[in-house]
Amino acid sequence: MRRLVANEPLLREAAVIGGLLFGSFSAFWATMVFVVSSPPYHHGSRMAGMFGLIGLAAALAASVAGRVADRRGARFTVGLGIGITAASWLLFSVLGGSCGGWLWA
């Protein structure tokens, strides 16, 4: 493994990007239960678990991402994933207080 990491810069880049995206994903979902259980929503862990169904959409998107990677290349697909993640965080930071209201009103 050391030799691979030392000799393959693309592997290092993919590992760092994957780790950062995983950290971003984990930070979001780990805090979701606290948001939906606090005022004004007052939902429990069951409702937070329902958000796991969104993971189904991600699983379905994996095949689409694979086709995009085959056509446009891995760098493009990874860049697209980074862009979507960044846009999601921006959207939630700007509209976070009202998005829940749309969903649970």
The whole-number average pLDDT for the span 19-40 is 82
If you write DSSP's letter for every residue of 52-88 in order, what string do you get? GGHHHHHHHHHHHHHHHHHHH-HHHHHHHHHHHHHHH
pLDDT in tens, 41-59: 777 777 777 777 777 777 8
Domain hosting 42: range is: 2-104
Whether 104 has a pLDDT exceeding 50, the answer reads no
Whether 76 has a pLDDT exceeding 90, the answer reads yes
Number of domains in the chain: 1
Whether 25 has a pLDDT exceeding 60, the answer reads yes
